[in-house]
Structure 1
Amino acid sequence: MKDRKVGPFALFFMLLLWCFVVFGPIYFLLCKPIPDYMVDDKEVSPWKGVITLWDYPRVDIENGSRYGWINGKIKAFEKANPGVYIELVPIDFKSGPIQLETAISTGEVPDIAPVAADYAIVSKQLLEPVDRFLSREELDDYKTQAITAVRHEGKAWGFPWMMTTYTMILNNDLFREKGVEIPRDGNWTYDEFVNALKALTFDRDNDGKKDCYGFNSFIDTYAYNLWGILLADGAEIFDEDYLIYRFDDDRARKGLQRLVDLKQLHQVTPSNFGENTEDQAWLTFYRDKAIAVYPAGTWTVNTLNRIRQQGAGFEFSVANYPIGEKGLPVSVSANVSAYGIFKQEDQSKLEMCVKFLKFITDEKSQKELHRLGVFPVKKSAGNIYENDPMMSTIEKSLPYTQNLPRHPYWMTIDGILQSQIRQAVLGKKTVEDAITDAKLKIEAFLEMKKKENGK
């Protein structure tokens, strides 16, 4: 019987069958579909859900909205991250700190809030430390003043996003009308300051009553528009190394006396200075045009520019606080604003919060801060006010801005101090009594807190 020859096609199919028998089981074992219940969603897809953000208003010059800038950032982030929603809860500067304190006491905190430079919150370790999310290059990009504001016990507790300060806004029209020279370099001594205010306090309509004043402002909690005068002679509020109260020496008395004298001695303020509200004081300056010098936050520059563009307003400029015995202009402010993330149970949600905060503090966002009248915290943003001499002048004063005392009970201490300052300005207490009473009340409060904490 002759051997049958195997054709090439038959040989091919035989080899194919052999491969299937040998390798088929291995293939199906390795490539077997994984049941849905075995899939780790955290590994396969990014986190989705709602992130709550509490934030303060910042007027945006592009649209006049108090939340226009941050809302724009939220929309862009949500578009780039489908399934992630940022719920913005507006809070205001007056009641916001109290709302946050209440939220902390009840455990109903937001995911993100501008609290990472707030020592009272940071010291309680309520926030997520964020060092592990920041590369060395990212850390080095922060200006020293900015990253220092969020550091505590060697860790960074949030993402700085802007810096601001208080400055003196001058009504150039009034200065020109009375022939008073505007400080050319933005600096003046306290005596030069007072002499200018006296010349700028006058009866414009000759009815026997003063209707234009050299100076106006207001006194309120969480407002530090007058502290550049109070600390001009070198006074300190606290020795922060040991949390020892210091606003009780001759430098403090002199600073408070300077402020009191503006109303009681020199009479360069409206009669209701010390008991007026912020809105009332602001209206006398921008609407009535009856005030020559008004201390305010840097946001006012954008606001006044917008008013002028609308055909109202007046020509204005800026100057530093008057120089006292310290020899340098001083201002006090919560000058670094930084977002912090409250403690999170879900690691993936935490990472999404970080992603959002990196997005709104990136170089592009930093370069847009001119819309809010504030300053970048990152070196890479460069000089965003290169073509704005007024804001450039203010930016040069940032190194002279003292941040708020890093004290766990600053909110209460601030309230005590502001109350005593008001009573001195109104003539209800002498400077000596106001300084003494403030110290006694603050020390009594701190002693009470020590007993409560068992120390």
Structure 2
Amino acid sequence: MKLKVKPFTLFLYAVLLVILFVGWPALSKNLRSLPDPVDPLFRKKPEWTGLITLWNVNFIDCGTGSNTRWLNLQVEKFEKQNPGVFIDVRNITPDRMKMYFQGNAGDNVLPDIIALPVYEDIIPHDLLVDLDEFFSQEDLRKLNPVAYKHVVRDGKMIGVPYMMGAYALVFNAQLAHEKEVIIPEGQLDYAFLDSAVRTMTFTEKEGKAEKRYYGFCTYSTPYSRPLLSIIHGSQGKIVDEQVYSYLMRWHQAGALPQGMLGFSYNKAWDLFAGQGRVGIMLTNTRAIYQMRALQQSGNGFEIAVKGLPADKKGLFLDQIAAFGILRTDNHIKLELCVSFLKGLLEDEAQQELKSIGMFPVITTVGDIYADDPQMHQLEISLKNYVYGPGDEKTVRLLENEYNKLKQELGTEAIDH
């Protein structure tokens, strides 16, 4: 007796065989890559579970304002990797942090992880864990040298740097065009900067009133002193006498707004972007992102962004953010805190700094702003920064000269 099989049925059998022999390996590979639905039930929990507290203080401005979004993302990753361990992030102001330490707050009030100030020694160093034993020499070699020096005091590694900013010369391109100032493509020098500042300093009559335009403007805050980045000297000199003399000439020519070194960032920004009365602003990356936001809303004006002239052995940078760990008797908790801070230095976390307009402290990450010409210029300029707040002797001498400069420019020295 013969079995009668329809041709279409044979065709279906053939297709099924092809799927089984050709498609099954790929299918099984995909199935293996899917997470096991019961894995969370059997994932090994750490030896210690509980709450790690972190005080986040935005001592430095990010391009987008603060580091909160980026930091929250890193916390989420850590908590997923360590079931039962949670990080409670508390955003506080520098003044509130000072209050806790000046008031001798007890250990039950202070956090486990804390943001480190830029200049001030708010936190007694003996309260901070020396983290050197947790990092190999290879780990330390990957850190930007200025960032690493920022967290070393008396031979101890009191914290972990995790991001950097940069200073820039931001030009009002519209004003530069009107005054026929041609901004060169490559690196600037001080001869061009002097000429540009003078050219973009003028008075315009509006009826009976007069409107003053300034060639140059910057600001000064307790945690951001852009002018230190250009007055810092080289070859054994603390102050660059040439730049210092340029500033005095600009002051005498009326190219600097009165009381400039008493300006907050917002006041300088309003004069530059709000009123459009400044040709060049020495500022951080926040100005770039703020102007982009204005342009997207149909306001603002075109800007040109340039790195600082680097015709010397090294520039000064104070835009470095770091966290330290306060001493604890719980060694397992300490190791978890260290693990979290190390996670901030992972390539993925460092690359994600792009989302807040900041730069990596890990030198092996590579360029993260290759598709952003303005930020890429500043990214390249990071190699020119050699000195920072970690160079304590240099900072003390610079601050003395900085206060003298404030007095000469008609601004009282501010007690930082």
Equivalence for 2:267: 280
Task: Please say which of residues 227-236 and 207-216 is displaced more in the overlay.
Answer: 227-236
Distance 2:73 2:79 in 1: 10
- What displacement does 1:277 show? 3.0
Equivalence for 1:22: none
Alpha-carbon RMSD across the aligned residues, in angstroms, is: 3.7
Equivalence for 1:197: 197
Equivalence for 1:261: 249
Amino acid paired to 1:337 = A
Contact 2:228 2:398 in 1 (8 A): no
Within 5 A, what are the aligned runs for 1:41-80?
45-57=46-58, 59=62, 61=64, 67-80=68-81
Equivalence for 1:423: 407
- Structure 1 residues 65 and 422: CA distance shift in structure 2, 3 A: closer
Aligned residues: 368
Contact 1:200 1:213 in 2 (8 A): yes
Equivalence for 1:131: 132
Within 5 A, what are the aligned runs for 1:301-312?
301-312=288-299
Equivalence for 2:279: 292
- Determine if the alignment matches structure 1 residue 231 to structure 2 residue 232: yes
TM-score, normalized by length of structure 2?
Answer: 0.74
Within 5 A, what are the aligned runs for 1:2-401?
45-57=46-58, 59=62, 61=64, 67-92=68-93, 95=95, 98=98, 102=102, 109-115=110-116, 120=121, 124-135=125-136, 137-152=138-153, 155-189=156-190, 191-204=191-204, 206-207=206-207, 209-232=210-233, 236-237=237-238, 255-263=243-251, 265-322=252-309, 327-328=311-312, 331-401=315-385
The structure with more radius of gyration:
1
Equivalence for 1:18: none
- Structure 1 residues 394 and 188: CA distance shift in structure 2, 3 A: same
- What displacement does 1:169 show? 1.2
Contact 2:171 2:281 in 1 (8 A): yes
TM-score, normalized by length of structure 1?
Answer: 0.69
Distance 1:101 1:408 in 2: 25
Distance 1:350 1:161 in 2: 18
- What displacement does 1:305 show? 2.2
Amino acid paired to 1:73 = Q
Task: Please say which of residues 100-109 and 83-92 is displaced more in the overlay.
Answer: 100-109
Unaligned runs of 5+ in 1: 1-42, 238-246, 429-433, 442-455
- Structure 1 residues 316 and 145: CA distance shift in structure 2, 3 A: same
- Structure 1 residues 178 and 235: CA distance shift in structure 2, 3 A: farther
Equivalence for 1:25: none
Please list the CA deviations of residues 1-42 of structure 1 after superposition, one character each: whole Å capped at 9, or x if unmatched.
Answer: xxxxxxxxxxxxxxxxxxxxxxxxxxxxxxxxxxxxxxxxxx
Please list the CA deviations of residues 376-418 of structure 1 after superposition, one character each: whole Å capped at 9, or x if unmatched.
Answer: 122442211111222221122223222125339969x887665
- What displacement does 1:196 show? 1.0
- What displacement does 1:268 show? 1.0
Distance 2:254 2:260 in 1: 10
Please list the CA deviations of residues 108-160 of structure 1 after superposition, one character each: whole Å capped at 9, or x if unmatched.
Answer: 54321232987957993432222333345534433444434434555543322
Equivalence for 2:38: none
Contact 2:129 2:158 in 1 (8 A): yes
Task: Please say which of residues 275-284 and 147-156 is displaced more in the overlay.
Answer: 147-156
Contact 1:119 1:407 in 2 (8 A): no
Distance 2:338 2:229 in 1: 36
Match of 2:391 among 375, 389, 406: 406
Unaligned runs of 5+ in 2: 1-43
Distance 1:414 1:99 in 2: 27
Contact 1:301 1:373 in 2 (8 A): no
Contact 1:162 1:375 in 2 (8 A): yes
Contact 2:198 2:250 in 1 (8 A): no
